[in-house]
Amino acid sequence: MPEHPSSARVSLDRLFELTEVLGAMMQRGVAERGLTIARAGVLWALFHEGPMTQRSLAGLLGVTPRNVTGLLDALQEDGLVLREAHPTDRRATLVSLTGRGRQVTAELSGGRDELAAVLFADMPAGQLADFTSSLARVTERLKAVDPTSHG
């Protein structure tokens, strides 16, 4: 236990509260665009990493290839992703965002940027750096406690 166990408990309670509030906001934000959190995760991965095989995408997201196939079926039906034969590996399928998929992810990214500006606008740079460092440390410790977590 840390030197100040009651402070650690209060901090953990704040983290739980934060995850509830952010989770609800994310859920609403993606639902407004006709998505689920899982489907938005696929789009976000493709937005940041670029086109990739279904197998690579499944590995990145920490889901089974079968699960990613279901997510991609729905996203392709909505016109957000495109699946094509891989140019050099005929056994693989390459997944990429469509123009509409890039637009939706750009909107999600813009919403994230607006929220960041509102939350941290008046926080001094040093305090924000300390906060970011503390969050990174807590995240790494959580990943060590639960090695099955990803992201």
Q: Which of 80, 85, 93 is nearest to 42 (CA)?
A: 80
pLDDT greater than 60 at residue 2: no
Q: Which of 48, 49, 59 is nearest to 112 (CA)?
A: 48
105 burial (CB, 10 Å; 0-12 / 13-18 / 19+) is buried
Query: Residue 18's domain is classified under what CATH number?
Result: 1.10.10.10
pLDDT greater than 90 at residue 126: yes
- pLDDT per residue over 129-145, tens digit each? 999 999 999 999 998 99
Q: Which of 38, 79, 83, 42 is nearest to 60 (CA)?
A: 42
62 in any annotated domain: yes
Percent of the chain exceeding pLDDT 90 equals 83
146 in any annotated domain: no
Residue with tokens 């402070």: 7
- pLDDT per residue over 19-57, tens digit each? 999 999 999 989 999 999 999 999 999 999 999 999 999
51 in any annotated domain: yes
**Residue span of the structural domain in which 77 resides:** 12-120
40 in any annotated domain: yes
State the pTM of this model.
0.82
